[in-house]
A and B are shown apart, each in its own frame.
Chain A
Amino acid sequence: MIVLDHVSFTYREGEPDAVPALRDLDLTIEPGQFVAVIGHNGSGKSTLVKLLTAVLYPPTEGEVRIEGIPVRHETRWEIRRRVSVVFQDPDDQLVMNRVGDDVAFGPENLGLPREEIAERVDFALGAMGLGELAERMLDDLSLGQKQRVAIAGALAMRPRFLILDEPTSLLPVAAAMSLIRVARDLNRREAMGVIHITHSMVEAALFDRVIVLDEGRMVLDGSPAEVFRHVDRLREIGLDVPLAASLAHRLRARGLPLEGDILTETDLREAIAALPRPMTVKKERPG
C-alpha cells in the first residue's frame, strides 16, 4: 500500500523563489490498484513520482509510506526495490547495447545469483512480448519497442508498484494503447500495482481509478465515470475531455436522454442505439 499522509512539497523552501509543487496531498493507493494520475505540466505529477521513488525526500510536510516504510534517505534502497519507474523517453533509461543485457542490468546490481537473474530476465522479456528480441541491439528498435524494453527492465526488479511516468507521450496512439493493455495484463496476472502518469484523458478512461492533479492539489479522485462527469471542471483545468464524453454532454443538454456513463466512442454508440426511436428532439432542454 502507498500512503501519502498530508504531503506537501516545496522546492527551495524558505527562499524568496520557493515553488510549492504539492499541497496537502492525502491519498492511499491499495496494492494491485490500476490508477491513472492526470494533470498538465506543472500540476505536481513529476514531484509525486519523485516522492514515490525516493528521489525526493522527505516531503516538506507530511509523510510518504510504501508498504509501511517511510520514504527517507536511509530507506531509499528498500523503497526503490518496491517501486520501479519507467520514464517518458526510454533513451534516458536504457544503458546497455543489447536488449537482454539491459533488462538484466537492474537485477545484476541487486547482486542476485546468476540463475535468478536469468529467470527474471526471461519472465520480464516474456511478459512484454520481447522474447525474440533478446539478442537485438537497442539501436535497431522503434521507440515503442524501446519503451517495452524499459518496462521489462522495471519488471525484472519485481516491484510491488510500477510507475509509468508519461511513457506514452512520445508514442503514436496505437502503440500507447497497446502499452496500456500490457500494463493491464501484468496488473491482473501479477497483482502488481500500476500508477500511470499521463495527460491523456482517453488513456485515463482505461484505468480503474483516476486522480486529477492541478497546481499541486488533488482536485478529482474516482472511477473514470465519476471523474469525466465533471466535463466543465476538467476543461477549466486545461485537460482534453474525450470527444465522446463531451458530445454526450452536449446532446444531453439538447434534451437527448442518453443513459449511463459515456467515456468512450463505444459507450456513445451504445447509448445512442438504446434511444427510443423514432424520436423527436427538442431544441431546448425539457423544462
Chain B
Amino acid sequence: MTDRSDRAPLIEMRDFRYTYLEGTPRASVAVRGVTLEIQHGERVGIVGPTQSGKSTIVDAFAHLLRLREGQVFYEGQDVAAPGYNRVALRRSVGIVFQRPDFQLLEDVVGKDVAFGPTTAGLPAEETRQRVEESLNAVGLDYKEFRLRYVHALSGGQKRRVAIAGVLAMRTPLLVLDEPMAGLDPRGRRELFELLMRLREQRDLTLVMCSSSLAETSLLCDRLIILQEGQIVIDGPVRDVLKETERLSGLGITLPEPVSCARELHQIFPDLPTDLLAEDELETELLVRLGARDA
C-alpha cells in the first residue's frame, strides 16, 4: 500500500484476534489474526459471509470490545494504551449498526439525531444546526421529520435517521455495518444514492461491511474479503472482481454483471468479469457476438 503522506494511517490493526465468550463452553472464535491499514479518505468495503468477523473488526475500531490479542491504532495511537482517551475515539469513529432499532435512543427523530452532539456538550444552537444539516443530508427534510416518531418510520427511514445521528457527530470515520439489509429495492436505491453523495466528501473515510458485493463494488475503491475471521483478498475493486471463483466459493454474493459474466464464460472464455455495470457487460457481449458500434 502506498503511503500518501507522513501521516499515520487513520486505522491500523495488527494481528487482531477475538473470541466471544472466551473461556466458556460457548466460546466462538470470530477473528483470527487480522492486520490492515485504512488511510485517510479511503473508501473500503469489508465483505464476507455472515459470521466471517466483519462486525467484530469494525467494533474493534471504536474499542467497543476488550482488546486482548493484537493492537488497534487510531492515527498512530494505540487505543488500548493506558490513559488513551476512549471518549474521544468514539467521537471519531462513527458506526451505524446493522439494526437501527438498537441505535435509535429517543422517541422523536430530531431528539435522536441531537443525542450525540448534546451528550458531547455542544451548545444548543450548534446542535440544532447539525441536526438540520444531517437530516437534510440523508434526505429527510428537517421541518417535516424532526418531530416525527421514530417507531412510525419505515425501515429505510430509520436507517437514515441512524446515519444522520452519526453524521451529526462529524466523525472523520464513518462505518456502515450492512446498511442495505432489510431494505426494499426503493429503500436500497435511495440509500445507495445518499452514500454515493457522502463518498464524495474528501475528508470522510468510509468503511462498509456487507455480505454482498452488489453495492460495495460501486461505493468503495478497495475491498477486503474475509473468511472465517481472516483476510483472504485485499485490493482494488476491479482486481478483486476478477477472482470470481474464489469469491463465490466463499459464499459471497457477486454483483449481477459479474455473476452473469461468470455464467457466460462457458461460451466466451475470454469474457472479463471485473464489470461494474450492465452497460459494460452488454458492450463486451456485443463485441464477442460480432456487433460493434460503427
Contacts and interface: CB of A to CB of B under 8 A. Distances in A.
B289 A256 contact: yes
Contact of B291 (A40, A247, A266, A281): A281
Contact of B281 (A143, A242, A247, A275): A247
Nearest to A242: B256
Interface size, B (range): 35 or more
B263 interface: yes
Given A247-B281, A272-B267, A172 B211 contact: yes
Given A238-B186, A251-B282, A269-B266, A243 B260 contact: yes
B249 to A, nearest CB: 11
A40 B184 contact: yes
B161 to A, nearest CB: 16
A279 interface: yes
B285 to A, nearest CB: 7
A52 B185 CA distance: 25
A266 B50 contact: no
B70 interface: no
A278 interface: yes
A171 B34 CA distance: 25
Nearest to B188: A240
A274 to B, nearest CB: 10
A273 B267 CA distance: 7
Interface in B190-240: 211-212
A278 B288 CA distance: 10
Contacts of B278: 243, 246-247, 250
Nearest to B211: A172
Interface in A130-159: 140, 142-144
Interface in B67-109: none
B182 A88 contact: yes
A174 B254 CA distance: 11
Contacts, number: 92
Interface size, A (range): 35 or more
A50 interface: no
Contacts of A254: 286, 291
A55 interface: no
Contact of A281 (B183, B184, B257, B290): B290
A140 B184 contact: no
Interface string A205-236: 00000000000000000000000000000000
Contact of B181 (A142, A170, A266): A170
A203 B181 CA distance: 16
A169 B183 CA distance: 7
Residue of B49, B154, B184, B290 with most chain A CB atoms under a 10 A cut-off: B184
Nearest to B282: A250
B267 A283 contact: no
B185 A247 contact: no
A238 B49 CA distance: 28
A238 B184 CA distance: 10
A13 interface: no
A283 B181 CA distance: 40
Contacts of B64: none
Contacts of B211: 172
A172 B185 CA distance: 15
Interface of B: 26, 49-51, 154-156, 181-187, 211-212, 251, 253, 256-257, 259-260, 263-264, 266-267, 278, 281-282, 285-286, 289-291, 293-294
Given A243-B260, A282-B291, 7 more contacts: A240-B185, A243-B257, A244-B260, A251-B286, A265-B260, A269-B266, A280-B290
